[in-house]
Amino acid sequence: MDSPLTGSTQINYLTMTTEDGIIKGGRSTSWACKIHPVFNLFTSIVCVTLTCSAMFMFFEVSPGSELSSVVLLVALSWACGKVAGMLYLPPLLGMLLAGLVLRNTGHYTVDVHSNRFQPYIINLREVALAVLLIASGLSLDASMLRKLRFVVFQLAILPCITETVAAAVVTHYLFGLPWIWGILLGCILSPVSSAVILPALLDFKQRGLGEDKGIITLVMAACSFDDIFCISAFGVCLSIIFSQGSWETNAMQGPMEIAIGIGIGLILGVAVGFVPHKCEQNLTVKRMYLLTVSGVLLTFGSKMIEYPGAGPLAIMTAAFVAAIFWKKTNSFSENVEIMSNNLWDFLEPLLFA
């Protein structure tokens, strides 16, 4: 249970140290602590085995069923991601290989069209993306973002324009596509994948890399604006090709998504910054719950109003603003950030496996 943040000593539960570097809960220099990834992997295997056994006992999930295939995919991809991390490889690589092997060896026999669990898997992927954006928003540095605000827009827009123009030129002279179709293809190829870039940046932040010069904050902020810019350009090209509405209306979608995302994110961030109060019990759990549920609602709500880029931007903005208010009231705790990272670690296989 979290105690109220009223000047008590904060403990980093990843390293089990206080702000003064005092180790809590035993010696960290023993040989067992040096090979803790092995124990972590063993414990994870035991937990997965017990979970599968419990599902078989209570839900009659037999081997070869659709649900067992989904559980096997998620569990094995998560384990392969951990093994890849121990080998100093991206966990994403291990998860992709696990999904590739299971699908092509016949152990993952789920039919996408007839699987009744497929809608839930898709929704959980949206939840995983929302958690990732929350963790990214909590990791942003306000002072660095203020200093690098112009560089953020340059990093978000200039590479996107360059890649789009290059794709249009290559497809026009190599494949004979019309210019507008080449630009449309460039808008599809040029956006960055936040789900791939942000986990690596979070890992760098945990290791203390790139924080002095604001590299992590710069790239995280640029990812959101890059996607919104590409969505807006794609809508303009699509309207010109198929005459679906005026191109002026589609061109305004990008600025509208930015305005809606930042506006809603500011309101939500201020609200979460004050509610719950810093003297409440279970403060970390309440803050994480409010951010996560609000982020999921924003993700699905932005798609319902046909502004899909506004949701992710609002989530990251809300987490960023909430962290600023927590710091101003001396109630900021790394436990929220740690909890969001742990939750993302659990949901990551749903995106990549």
141 φψ region: left (φ > 0), alpha (ψ -120 to 50), beta (else): beta
Regarding whether 331 and 291 lie in a shared domain, the answer is yes
Regarding whether 160 and 226 lie in a shared domain, the answer is yes
Q: Is the pLDDT confidence value at 181 over 80?
A: yes
Q: Where a domain ends, among 115, 141, 163?
A: 115
Q: Please indicate, yes or no, if residue 160 is contained in any of the structural domains.
A: yes
Residue 7 makes CB contacts below 8 A (sequence gap 6+) with: 330
Regarding whether 166 and 47 lie in a shared domain, the answer is no
Regarding whether 245 and 105 lie in a shared domain, the answer is no
Closest CA to 291 of 328, 255, 265, 262: 265
Q: Is the pLDDT confidence value at 106 over 50?
A: yes
Q: 327: which 2 tokens? A: 């710091």
Regarding whether 213 and 239 lie in a shared domain, the answer is yes
Which structural domain, as residue segments, surrounds residue 83? 32-115
**Pair 192, 226: CB distance under 8 Å:** yes
Q: Please indicate, yes or no, if residue 275 is contained in any of the structural domains.
A: yes
Q: Is 182 exposed, middle or buried (0-12, 13-18, 19+ CB in 10 A)?
A: buried
Percent of the chain surpassing pLDDT 90: 4
**Pair 92, 352: CB distance under 8 Å:** yes
Q: Please indicate, yes or no, if residue 62 is contained in any of the structural domains.
A: yes
Q: Please indicate, yes or no, if residue 150 is contained in any of the structural domains.
A: yes
Q: Where are the beta strands (DSSP E) in the chain?
A: 11-12, 17-18
Q: Please indicate, yes or no, if residue 126 is contained in any of the structural domains.
A: no
Q: Please indicate, yes or no, if residue 250 is contained in any of the structural domains.
A: yes
Regarding whether 101 and 139 lie in a shared domain, the answer is no
Q: What is the pLDDT of residues 113-124, one digit of tens each?
A: 656 667 777 788
Regarding whether 155 and 74 lie in a shared domain, the answer is no
Q: Please indicate, yes or no, if residue 94 is contained in any of the structural domains.
A: yes
Number of domains in the chain: 2
Q: Which of the two residues, 175 and 107, has the higher pLDDT score? A: 175
17: β partners: 12, 23
Q: What is the pLDDT of residues 119-172, one digit of tens each?
A: 777 788 888 888 888 888 888 888 888 888 788 888 888 888 899 999 999 999
Residue 266 makes CB contacts below 8 A (sequence gap 6+) with: 317, 318, 321
DSSP of 188-216 = HHSS--HHHHHHHHHHHHHTT-STTTTHH
Q: Please indicate, yes or no, if residue 8 is contained in any of the structural domains.
A: no
Regarding whether 309 and 168 lie in a shared domain, the answer is yes
Regarding whether 166 and 69 lie in a shared domain, the answer is no
pLDDT band at residue 18 using 50, 70 and 90 as cut-offs? very low
Q: Is the pLDDT confidence value at 83 over 80?
A: yes
Q: Is 311 exposed, middle or buried (0-12, 13-18, 19+ CB in 10 A)?
A: buried
Q: Where a domain ends, among 115, 146, 174?
A: 115
Q: Where a domain ends, among 115, 146, 175?
A: 115
Regarding whether 222 and 288 lie in a shared domain, the answer is yes
Regarding whether 166 and 52 lie in a shared domain, the answer is no
Regarding whether 245 and 109 lie in a shared domain, the answer is no
